[in-house]
Amino acid sequence: MSSENATKNVTGDGDEESKGRNFPWATAALGVGLAASLGVGAYQHMNLVNTRMQTAALEREVATLRQTLNSSDLNVTQTLGALRAELDSTRKESASSTEQAKESARRQAEAIAARVTNKLAQRQDEHQKVLTEELDQIKSRTDQATARLTDITTEVGSVRTDVASTRSDLDRTVAELHRTTGDMGVMSGLIATNSKELSALRELGEREYFEFTLTKTSAPQRVGDILVQLKKADFKRNRFTMEIVADDKKVEKKDKNINEPVQFYVVSKARQPYELVVNEVRKDQVIGYLATPKVKVAGRKL
């Protein structure tokens, strides 16, 4: 027991001594902790102050912004009101201007219509006058044409009478014409003894006719498409002698009588004979005509 007490006393004394040795360190740690707490508290206090200052600044900015927005809303409202008032005024002015424009356009249209109506009436009167004058002229020309037509009808009747008379004369003249045998023994066509009968032959159109007046010369003369040279003319006996050149050949017709068909062939020209008739014999001159077939063949000219 004594030893245990002694031991406990020793141990107890040792703990107290140990506690006595550890106390300054605890105090120091406590001081450090307190200082740290104070530092943290001061830091937090500073942060709180800064936060409050920032919040106050933000609140001021928000208040300023709200004031600005309120002012802007007021300006916008005022501007919109002014625009609405101006728009209403413009609408009223536009409506008034439209009515005025319509009234002005109506008046102008009425004035233009009146002018056009007057011009149309004036032109219609002028056209009516011109038309009346033209109708009068047409009537006058129609009357003249009718009178002229009457005259023409009369003239046509007269011409028909003349034609009938001429035809009758032609028929009588043709009836008086005769045929005879030519100097080659071939029956001739109708023989004309004067210019009237020759005109009748031309009207019949059976042959081509070429009148001539031949004079006694040293060279042949062209009659139609042949050459003829008068060699002799005996006006006392109404006889003549001539030389005919055709197809590069010369044929002499000697001592022929007036109104006697002098016949010869021009093979290169036609298959029917040519006929030369002298109606009058004068001194060194004869007058007559050449009758050639209408149907000819190709040939060379003299």
Q: Which residues is 202 bridged to in the sheet?
A: none
The structure tokens 């209403």 sit at: 88
For residue 98, the enclosing domain spans 1-133
Q: Is residue 261 part of a domain?
A: yes
In this structure, what DSSP letter does residue 296 have?
-
> Are 122 and 242 found together in one domain?
no
Q: Is residue 267 part of a domain?
A: yes
Asked whether residue 299 carries a pLDDT value surpassing 80, the answer given is no
Residue that is last in its domain, among 104, 133, 162: 133
Task: Report the pLDDT value the prediction gives residue 10, as an integer from 0 to 100.
Answer: 44
> Are 187 and 112 found together in one domain?
no
> Are 37 and 99 found together in one domain?
yes
Residue that is last in its domain, among 118, 133, 148: 133
Q: Please report the sign of the dihedral spanned by the C-alpha atoms of residue 70, residue 71, residue 76, residue 79.
A: positive
> Are 93 and 190 found together in one domain?
no
**pLDDT digit string, tens, across residues 53-107:** 999 998 998 889 888 878 877 887 888 889 889 888 888 887 887 788 888 888 8
From 236, 262, 261, select the one nearest 251 (Cα to Cα): 262
Furthest-apart CA pair in the chain: how many Å? 235
Asked whether residue 228 carries a pLDDT value surpassing 90, the answer given is yes
Q: Is residue 88 part of a domain?
A: yes
Residue that is last in its domain, among 103, 133, 163: 133
Q: Is residue 226 part of a domain?
A: yes
Report percent pLDDT > 70 for the chain. Answer: 83
Which are the contacts of 215, defined by CB distance < 8 A and separation ≥ 6? Answer: 221, 230, 284, 285
Q: Is 215 helix (H, G, I), strand (E, B) or coil?
A: strand
d(CA 273, CA 188): 9
Q: Determine how many CB atoms are found less than 10 A away from the CB of residue 287.
A: 15
> Are 61 and 183 found together in one domain?
no
> Are 112 and 44 found together in one domain?
yes
> Are 71 and 192 found together in one domain?
no
Q: Is residue 228 part of a domain?
A: yes
- Domain count of the fold of the chain: 2
Q: Is residue 27 part of a domain?
A: yes
State the Cα angle at 138 between 134 and 141, rounded to 5°.
Answer: 135
As a dihedral over the C-alpha atoms of residue 251, residue 253, residue 254, residue 258, rounded to 10 degrees, the angle is -170
> Are 103 and 201 found together in one domain?
no
Q: What is the pTM of this model?
A: 0.44
Using 50, 70 and 90 to split pLDDT, how confident is the model at 172? low
Task: Report the pLDDT value the prediction gives residue 263, as an integer from 0 to 100.
Answer: 95
CATH number for position 192:
2.60.98
> Are 13 and 119 found together in one domain?
yes
